[in-house]
Amino acid sequence: MILHKSIVRKIQPVFWVTLLLMIVFNFFSSRFLSLHNIINLFQQGAVLLIVAAASTLVILSEGLDLSLGSVLTLAGITSVMSVNSGAPVSVAIGIGILTGLLCGAITGTLISIFNMQPFIATLGIQGVYYGISLVLTDSVAILTKNKTFIFFGSRIGYLPMAALIGVGTFLLILYIFHNTPFGRYIVAIGGNESGTRLSGVNTRFWKWFLYTFAGGVTGFAGVLLASRLEAADPIVGVGWEFDAIAATILGGTSFQKGKGGVAGTALGVLLITVVRNGLNVIRTPSILQPALIGTILIIAIVIQVGLSMRSTQKEGKNRP
């Protein structure tokens, strides 16, 4: 069962809010619910869908990865740089994924081997990865004109390539989460790490593997983003890690005791993408958008967490 009953109950408000927002946006601009814009919506949400799935896995293990935005950036840069220097597209994509894996492996080493707290390790390493991005690009965006490379992020008529790849990757992560020992260990580590270790699971390895996996997945998302934007910008990923965390929380995953799941995160991603896209479609001045989105996300998280806390209180669980 992909969506547990308790999660369905938790994410119901998010669902209704998303629906309401869609109606409101459509009221202001009838273009919002046009087929053209809905396809756009999926194109725009594709990358976040992948990053948020990775972030959800990390949060389910009671961890946190604040470096995902910088990994997204760095992987896009290495792949665009290699495709621009004449490497075949498959190699460039591979280099992007490898970059993500390497970044994730370093983060994972700091957290699982050296016992650093996740948010410090990932915040510090975020500075390092952004630093490397700035050094590699000398603070300017690199464009790419390679037709094959940008094909994967493009939209051919009604065929949104990025959206298809994004949804496909998300489903793959969902499958891995529900059908492999790795997925079960994540939840087990989040629920009770020492208990999991005592029952014979090498928690240290699996935690390391989790951050590496999240890095690799985010690296792939970075390639997709660079392909969609036809460029790699050294600051493109700023703040993505928070969108991913917000989508995770809105999707019903709790940051305590491994409760939640990957499937709900898709709804959180939908809400965030609807807000971002809708504000554009109804022509909100671009200068207002960061403040509006930031405020909306905080309020949405507060409502979501507040509601779920009330429901746990009713069940009489976890509260002394």
The footprint of another protein (CB under 8 A) covers 64, 66, 110, 114-117, 119-121, 123-132, 134-135, 138-139, 239, 242, 245-246, 249, 255, 287-295, 297-298, 301-302, 305-306, 309
Which of 7, 66 has the CB closer to another protein?
A: 66
CB of 267 to another protein, least distance (A): 19
Structure tokens belonging to residue 156:
């051919």
CB of 300 to another protein, least distance (A): 10
Which of 92, 249 has the CB closer to another protein?
A: 249
Which of 164, 292 has the CB closer to another protein?
A: 292
Size of the chain in residues: 320
CB of 36 to another protein, least distance (A): 28
Which of 90, 194 has the CB closer to another protein?
A: 194
Q: Where are the beta strands (DSSP E) in 147-264?
A: 155-156, 159-160, 231-232
Structure tokens belonging to residue 243:
């969108």
Task: Give the three-state DSSP class for 50.
Answer: helix
CB of 62 to another protein, least distance (A): 10
CB 242 within 8 A of CB 95: no
Which of 262, 297 has the CB closer to another protein?
A: 297
Q: Which of 25, 41, 60 is nearest to 264 (CA)?
A: 60
Q: In the beta sheet, which residues pair with residue 232?
A: 142
Task: Give the three-state DSSP class for 253.
Answer: coil
CB of 21 to another protein, least distance (A): 18
Measure the CA–CA gap between 208 and 219, rounded to whole angstroms.
16
Which of 78, 227 has the CB closer to another protein?
A: 78
Vertex 79 angle, CA 69 and 231, to 5°: 70
CB of 34 to another protein, least distance (A): 28
Rg of the chain taking only CA atoms, in angstroms: 19
